[in-house]
């Protein structure tokens, strides 16, 4: 007998990282999330690059249109059902590249509105936690709806090593929690969309 697994509606997740550096631990979290999502029925996670976005300047908006890199970014966010942020902490807050990306997609019409979202972070003592709380506050204004739990903060500098020398996540327990975050985001997205 062949077991039949019920197909779930496909949830497309746009994954954004607030760090632009090559060996970024937070980029490593997203790579791991993409791998883990392949084990989850109905979930597809895709990385969206924010490095090419110009610094926000409303003079670059002409007759309601945006620079081409911004338009392309906004289309990718628009096409996603939900958002996964990997948000490192710079000076107790969200990094400038991530805030810049959020600001561009918030320009009219606000593309974030009514999407479900989750935040993960890796960093120093608090594992990037303070940036998460600032990001949640921004989410209030742009109408993002964050899952509350599980929380994912990872201290990247405390032994044993959580990442290899290329910034790939190697910690089994962190991977488990990361997968739980994805499952929670999937369930919350379906709930917001009235599909469960
Ligand atoms: C400008 C700057 C400010 C930082 N401020 C903080 C901070 O407030 N709290 C913290 O825990 N780490 C801070 N860090 C350390 C980063 O969070 C840490 O290097 C982290 O690994 C960066 O993420 P990434 O590995 O994805 O690039 C800061 C790093 C930079 C470059």
CATH code for position 150: 3.40.50.360
In a domain, 90, yes or no: yes
Strand-pair partners of 11: 43
In a domain, 2, yes or no: no
Atom of ligand 1 nearest to the CA of 91: 8
CA proximity to 85, closest of 70, 72, 97, 67? 97
> Does pLDDT of 6 surpass 80?
no
> Does pLDDT of 4 surpass 80?
no
- Collect all residues with Cβ–Cβ distance below 8 Å to 154 and sequence separation of at least 6: 25, 29, 120, 121, 122, 123, 127, 128, 162, 171, 174
Q: What mean pLDDT is predicted for residues 129-145?
A: 98
Q: Which residue range is the domain that position 47 belongs to?
A: 11-54+66-192
What confidence score (pLDDT) does residue 3 get? 67
Distance separating alpha carbons of residues 25 and 23, to the nearest angstrom: 6
In a domain, 4, yes or no: no
Identify the residue whose C-alpha is closest to ligand 1 atom 28: 90
Band of residue 8 on the pLDDT scale cut at 50, 70, 90: confident
In a domain, 59, yes or no: no
Band of residue 120 on the pLDDT scale cut at 50, 70, 90: very high
Distance separating alpha carbons of residues 95 and 100, to the nearest angstrom: 9
CA proximity to 83, closest of 195, 196, 192? 192
List pocket residues of ligand 1, CB cut-off 6 Å.
19, 21, 24-26, 88-92, 123-126, 156
Q: Which residue has the tokens 């918030």?
A: 106
Distance from the alpha carbon of residue 82 to the mean position of ligand 1, in angstroms: 26
What's the structural domain count of the chain? Answer: 1
What confidence score (pLDDT) does residue 27 get? 98
Band of residue 178 on the pLDDT scale cut at 50, 70, 90: very high
């Amino acid at each position: 007998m062949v077991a039949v697994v019920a197909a779930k509606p496909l949830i497309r997740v746009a994954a954004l990282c607030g760090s632009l550096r090559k060996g970024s631990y937070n980029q490593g979290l997203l790579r791991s999330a993409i791998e883990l999502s392949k084990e989850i029925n109905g979930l597809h996670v895709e990385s969206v690059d924010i490095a090419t976005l110009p610094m926000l300047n409303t003079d670059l908006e002409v007759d309601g249109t945006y620079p081409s890199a911004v338009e392309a970014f906004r289309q990718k966010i628009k096409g996603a059902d939900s958002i996964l942020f990997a948000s490192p902490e710079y000076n107790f807050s969200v990094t400038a590249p991530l805030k810049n990306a959020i600001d561009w997609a918030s320009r009219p019409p606000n593309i974030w509105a009514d999407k479900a979202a989750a935040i993960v972070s890796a960093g120093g003592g608090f594992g990037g936690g303070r940036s998460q709380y600032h990001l949640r506050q921004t989410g209030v204004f742009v109408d993002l709806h964050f899952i509350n739990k599980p929380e994912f903060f990872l201290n990247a500098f405390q032994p044993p090593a959580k990442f290899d020398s290329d910034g790939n996540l190697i910690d089994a327990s962190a991977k488990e929690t990361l997968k739980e975050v994805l499952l929670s985001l999937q369930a919350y997205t379906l709930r917001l969309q009235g599909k469960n």
